[in-house]
Amino acid sequence: MRIFATLRSRLIAMVAALLAVIIGSVAIISTRVAHYEIRKFDLEVHAGRAPRAPVAIGQYYRAHGSWAGVQPVIDQATRSGESDVIVFDGQRKFVGTSNAILRDAQLTPDGGLLIERRSAAGRTRELIRGPQMIVRDDKGNIAGSIFILPRQSKTPELPPTRSLDRSFFLTFLGATIFGVLMAMAIARWISVPVERLTAAARRMESGDLAVRVEPAGGAELAELARGFNAMAAALDRNEEQRRRMVSDVAHELRAPLTNIRCELESMQDGLTSPTPERIASLHEETMHLAHLVDDLQDLALAEAGRLEIDAQPVTVAALARRAAAGMEMRARERSVTLHCEGSDDVIVLADAHRAVQILTNLLANAVAHMEKPGEVRIAWEQNGSEAIIRVIDSGTGIPADEIPRIFERFYRVDVSRSRATGGAGLGLPIVRQLVAAHGGRVWAESVVGAGSVFSFTLPLAG
Ligand code: ADP
């Protein structure tokens, strides 16, 4: 149904229906009980106090053989009693009553008494059965019937059961209205936070990633709001990272491209000639660009979890020697010697190509940050179910407050030195992704001026 399309209307309907059923059944049950109690009370009063009056009236009929002139007897007989009586003759015609208010009472064909009252509150009819006394003539025919009722008030008013019904009805109505108001308040209480969340989601959809909602509306909805805020914060962060990444990539590509363009343009203009050295320099810039693009691609694949890792058992010694051999030339240029220290028996489960890439990146950094001739060591050991591999240098070191950030993309501690060594700040983020892809961890320890130790773990084979 359309009117129950919203959460709020459904809640209102639910609570109102529930309240109506509960209050309704309580009202019905208590009305029944009250009516029963009142009838019981009436009969008790009757049985105890009234019999004398109808007997006297019956005797009058038997003495006179007619109801004519019975009214004073009725008045006399009921003067002291707590009951009223109504007398009908054998033809069900009204004969007399102790109370003028009962003058319109009628005897129904099935022997019930129908009392009609008119009051300011309206007309009411009440059907009463028994107690009554049947008066018979000498031949045993029914000569009349005398109804006994609790003493009625002289002024018209609603009978007790009627006023009870009315007060129950009013209570029911009041409670229902109160229930509906409560239901509306509860529904509002629940639906407002949901509406707020919806509005926030819409704003986010239209690009406002700074939007947050206040956790409210009970534990579950507050948790939902907190989840929403966390999601919004993550999206905001991702968007910020994406923006920074695009601008960082553009920045990294611009420098080598500008160099290449300037060289080529000056050659075109005949300002410089394409000597082998210039061509070699152009080649180097191009290689740098290619390297950067490769790094970016590796990083993108790793971050998307799509890097293929072909893990095979391999000794750490073999990996270390391969990486050291690849770095040999660069190390010699800086008068740095490379040492491998560790057992030949440590076998890890790793993708050899990727593991060598990890070590190469760490070695390249270590060699680049050696200020004086010295040595860079690759050391490894077994530790539980993993191997810990360390690349140790005695270079510049890294300030303690920078260490947490060096694994971020494009982050460089010393930008000018890093550029001079061709680094774009992608080496360590790639290391971190590759190590994670193997199920390992990586961390750095460093003392400025004394050197750095980069450690990572790989799972042992078998
Ligand atoms: P880059 O390509 O610039 O080397 P990395 O991600 O590999 O980028 O490293 C990030 C930064 O961490 C470097 O710019 C450098 O400042 C610092 N760093 C990395 N390794 C070392 C090291 N062994 N000694 C000193 N600083 C280092």
Residue 432: CB within 6 Å of ligand 1?
no
Q: Which of 244, 335, 228, 249 is nearest to 293 (CA)?
A: 249
In terms of pTM, does the model score above 0.85? no
Give residue limits of the domains in the chain: 2-162, 219-301, 308-459
Would you say the CB of residue 451 lies under 6 angstroms from ligand 1? no
Is residue 249 within 8 A of residue 232, CB to CB? The reply is: no
Ligand 1 centre and the CA of 190: distance in Å?
53
Query: Does the Cβ of 427 fall within 6 Å of ligand 1?
Result: yes
pLDDT of 347 over the 70 cut: yes
Q: Which CATH superfamily is domain 308-459 in?
A: Histidine kinase-like ATPase, C-terminal domain (3.30.565.10)
Do 314 and 352 meet the contact criterion of CB atoms below 8 Å apart? yes
* pLDDT at site 455: 98
Q: Which residue has the tokens 């990586």?
A: 442
pLDDT digit string, tens, across residues 183-236: 888 888 878 888 889 999 999 999 888 889 888 777 888 889 999 999 999 999
Q: Is 452 in the pocket of ligand 1 (CB under 6 A)?
A: yes
* Domain 2-162 in CATH 1.20.58: no
Rounded-to-integer distance, Cα 312 and Cα 350, Å: 5
β-bridge mates for residue 145, sequence order: 88, 134
Rounded alpha-carbon distances, angstroms, from residue 1 to 5, 6, 21, 94:
7, 10, 21, 58
Average pLDDT, the chain: 85
Interval 248-279: pLDDT, tens: 888 888 888 998 999 999 999 999 998 999 99
Distance 286 CA to ligand 1 centre (A): 22
The CATH label, of 3.40.50.920, 1.10.3430.10, 1.10.287.130, 3.40.50.1370, for the domain at 219-301 is 1.10.287.130
For residue 414 and ligand 1, the question of a CB distance below 6 A is answered with: yes
Centre of ligand 1 to C-alpha 445, Å, is 13
Do 2-162 and 219-301 show the same overall fold?
no
